[in-house]
Amino acid sequence: MRPLAEKKFQDVQETGETYSQTSQVEVDSEKWLSGSVYTCKATHDSKPFESSTSICSEYLVPVPSIHLEKPKLESVANNVTVTATCVVFTPYQSIVSWTVDHNEKKVSTNSIFIKDDNNRIKRIVNNLTHTKSEWKNMKSITCEANHKCFTHVKETIDLTDERTAHPTLALYHQLKHNPAGANGITLVCSLAGFYPNTITVTWEEDDKPFQRSPVVKTLQNLEEKDTTFSQTSQVEVDITKWLTGSSYTCKAKHNSKEFSNVTSICSAYPISSPSIHMDSVASHKAITATCVVFASYKSTVSWIVDGNKPKYSPTSEYFKGSNNIIQRFVNNLTIPRDEWKSMKSISCEVKHRCFPPVKKTINLTGETSVKLFLWPSLEEGGTRVQTFLCLASGFKPQVTWLLGQDQRPATANRIVIEDDGHITVASEIEVPHQEWTRGDAVTCEVDDLPLLKSIFKNISICTLTPPSSQTAELFLIGPSLQDRLNQRDLPCVCMLVGFDTRDFTITWKVNGEVPQRSAKTEAPTRNDNGTETMRSTFHVRRNNWDEHKQITCEAKHLCSGKPLERYLVKTKDPRQPKVQILTPSDSDLEKSSNATLVCLISDFFPSQVEVHWEMNGTKVAPSRYASTLPLRYWGSAGYIMHSRLLVPQSNWTEGEYSCVVRHESSKKPIRHTVSNVFASATLSPPQAFLLQFSRGLVCLVHSFSPAAIDVIWLLKGKDEQLESHTSSVSRGPDGKFTLWSHLAVSWEPGALYTCRVLHVTQNLSISKSQPEITAEIEYFDENTQDSSQADSTEEIWNTACAFLILFLITLLYSSFVTLIKVK
């Protein structure tokens, strides 16, 4: 056999060199599983070496066991072919062979290999099949398993052994249809398929030997080797004993093994325990108690009065169906009325062997009870109805329904007999919801035999409605501001919130009188907290509203005499709101990318008000602002609220923002407008002027933003900054900033003073010398030449005064706005 692959390895170590070699071959799986031995031979320095392996050495297991299963007698008797099964318990793929009557061994190829979850063989199943005729002539069979890993194993069975087949026993009955045998019944005990014919059969009646001799018939199956026998044993029993439930047993003994079966009318016609219905019929002199038993067996009925057997004899009557089988029987007991009144209980008891005793008792001492219930209302055929249930428990109660004073028929009646014999009548009546909500009482009237007078139970919607449900919360919502300003009729809304608001009636009044025009009342809607809301809308005429007539909404529960009222009147002296916009401070604009304008609306009455924002005359989307609800001043009749407008930094452009308020105190909108709100946050370069006074120079810087700025003074020829006095930055009406810086000077020949302004937008330098003024604007290029402009002393003084006045005005205005914001 040529190797599949060879590999050599060299192991280099300090002490020397060694080599390793692997040689691989691929073998046939069938030969490997069959146990073939494979040997690897090697020669090194003329010295041979070899090693062998096989599946036998790799998987060592003990000698396998073998089981040969003989076919069952029923298979030999009933099937066309007969199969014997050989099971070999081994993990090796063994060869199974069969030997019949010690003849030549034949190898079988129809082995079935049963494997485990790892695909390894657990056992081998092999079948040997022959025709029935061949099988009958066979004397022995041998199953043998062979494999190279173990010596052969085999098992032999002898087919000439004595066969034994036990009988199958069945017991049934036959009714006689001829008139001569009408009082008898035949029981048949059938024993089939037994061998050999050695069997004994006996009968028992109620566990005692049966006195009559049975009729026995024996039959033989005439086939050759698998002969079996059958036998029937018949006895006739008395129909009376049969109907009373006597039991009959057929016993058989075959080859020392016993068999038996029992039958009776109870097992032939099994039924559950019978039901009993008790009733009574009263006359002037006597009362007849009736016991109706629903059962197929002819049972024994007995009466018990106050625990004793009555002195009066009952009468019985049986009722049969079309198949002549008993369906029920009626037993009557008549007792004088005077004795009936003194009785405490009466019982009817039924006995039979097929079921335990059944007893029904009527308690004659209990009192009649009546209970009246209300079911939830239902919609039937588009009509809402209210259902009532009356439960009357007594001896024999009769129920009558009344609605108000009128008698009404019951919708349904059901009768339930209790364990103590009392009867409970469940009577229902359906009343249209419209009639129920009128408040009429629904009455259940009950009459019973022991009663001297009727029992009345009544119910109405008012008796069921607790005081807490007869009231609710009433809200009256006046017309909106838009409706008040328009010259049309004004809608008023009345909202009733509570439980079962359908029981309320809403009425509108104008100056205490019900108007001719009707209101629109909607069906109640369900709220999440379980309450209901009823909504009613009434349109008030414009002239009635302008004449300050009182509009009243009245809600009244049908069970309450105290209505709920809410009213409103047009305000006679409305108070016009004051509107003011509060702008964000400069520090707020520096810290945030969004700005908020606050519109303060105060001191107005009534509270209905509409607020919106405009930018440059265009309405702002409502999503950009939010308004609070009006709140009343503490200790004042006026209301106050505010609205907040959010302005993102992308919209910080020059323009006007207006807060527009509509109120019934003014036909025209009330507005407040602000401009230059975000001027301080917009980059604007500074402008500067240099003024000369007797005590020094003043550098006036204005129209710049943002406010961060530095002013320094320099003297030509000196590097250090001159000491000066600089004011704080002030904000002007246009949103721009102004400041001034004063420098005390001593003029020397050739002196040149420079005011330098440092701002994020640009740098300025303004210089002055004696006797002329030189102005220079310096940007970031410090190498530009100075430029100056000379003015007359009078013009300079006028300009300085004007700027100082503007500066003072700006300072006062800024202080006033800051004070308003703080308040």
Reported as a single tens digit per residue, the pLDDT across 15-25 is 567 888 888 88
- Do 507 and 482 belong together in one domain? yes
68 belongs to a structural domain? no
Question: In a 3-state reduction of DSSP, which class is residue 576?
Answer: coil
Question: Looking at 340, 363, 386, which one is the last position of a domain?
Answer: 363
Distance of CA 774 to the CA centre of its chain: 88
- Do 667 and 583 belong together in one domain? yes
112 belongs to a structural domain? no
Distance of CA 534 to the CA centre of its chain: 31
According to the model, what pLDDT value does residue 747 have?
Answer: 75
Reported as a single tens digit per residue, the pLDDT across 88-124 is 988 888 888 989 888 888 888 888 888 888 888 888 8
Q: What is the total count of domains within the chain?
A: 7
Range of the domain at 627: 578-679
d(CA 123, CA 111): 10
- Give the confidence band of 779 by pLDDT, cuts at 50, 70, 90: very low
According to the model, what pLDDT value does residue 792 have?
Answer: 39
State yes or no: pLDDT of 410 exceeds 70. Answer: yes
- Do 353 and 388 belong together in one domain? no
Reported as a single tens digit per residue, the pLDDT across 668-685 is 899 999 887 777 777 889
State yes or no: pLDDT of 502 exceeds 80. Answer: yes
81 belongs to a structural domain? no
Question: Looking at 516, 547, 568, which one is the last position of a domain?
Answer: 568
- Do 699 and 806 belong together in one domain? yes
- Do 647 and 632 belong together in one domain? yes
d(CA 399, CA 392): 7
24, with CB counted inside 10 A (0-12, 13-18, 19+), is exposed
| Backbone phi, psi, residue 249, to 5° | -120, 130
**C-alpha closest to that of 588 among 673, 647, 657, 660:** 647
- Do 749 and 709 belong together in one domain? yes
Per-chain mean pLDDT for the chain: 82
According to the model, what pLDDT value does residue 161 have?
Answer: 54
- Do 739 and 650 belong together in one domain? no
Instruction: Please give the single-letter amino acid code of residue 727.
Output: S
- What ranges make up the beta strands (E) of 448-589? 455-459, 473-477, 490-498, 504-510, 520-521, 525-526, 532-540, 551-557, 564-568, 578-582
Reported as a single tens digit per residue, the pLDDT across 313-357 is 898 888 877 766 777 889 998 988 778 778 888 889 999 888 899
**C-alpha closest to that of 388 among 417, 368, 422, 413:** 413
In the chain, count H helices and then E strands: 13, 62
Q: What is the CATH number of the domain that holds 292?
A: 2.60.40.10
Reported as a single tens digit per residue, the pLDDT across 224-260 is 556 788 999 999 998 888 888 899 999 999 888 899 9
pTM of the model: 0.37
Q: Among the listed ranges 39-53, 454-468, 511-525, 768-782, which one has the minimum average pLDDT value? A: 768-782
Reported as a single tens digit per residue, the pLDDT across 516-543 is 888 899 999 999 988 899 999 999 998 8
Q: What is the DSSP string of 638-666?
A: -EEEEEEEEEEGGG--S-EEEEEEE-TT-
680, with CB counted inside 10 A (0-12, 13-18, 19+), is buried
According to the model, what pLDDT value does residue 77 have?
Answer: 60
Average pLDDT over every residue of 529-558: 90
- Do 653 and 692 belong together in one domain? no
Question: Looking at 437, 464, 491, which one is the last position of a domain?
Answer: 464
Asked if residue 577 has a cis previous peptide bond (ω within 30° of 0), the answer is no
**C-alpha closest to that of 603 among 574, 625, 624:** 574
- Radius of gyration, CA atoms only, the chain: 60
According to the model, what pLDDT value does residue 269 have?
Answer: 82
State yes or no: pLDDT of 823 exceeds 60. Answer: no
Task: Fill in the DSSP letter of residue 760.
Answer: S
d(CA 597, CA 590): 15
| Backbone phi, psi, residue 39, to 5° | -120, 135
C-beta separation of 694 from 742 below 8 A: no
- Do 635 and 646 belong together in one domain? yes
- Do 558 and 656 belong together in one domain? no
- Do 692 and 770 belong together in one domain? yes
According to the model, what pLDDT value does residue 260 have?
Answer: 93
Q: What would the two tokens of residue 416 be?
A: 């339930």
- Do 263 and 280 belong together in one domain? no
104 belongs to a structural domain? no
According to the model, what pLDDT value does residue 109 have?
Answer: 80
C-beta separation of 398 from 448 below 8 A: yes
**C-alpha closest to that of 494 among 537, 544, 539:** 537
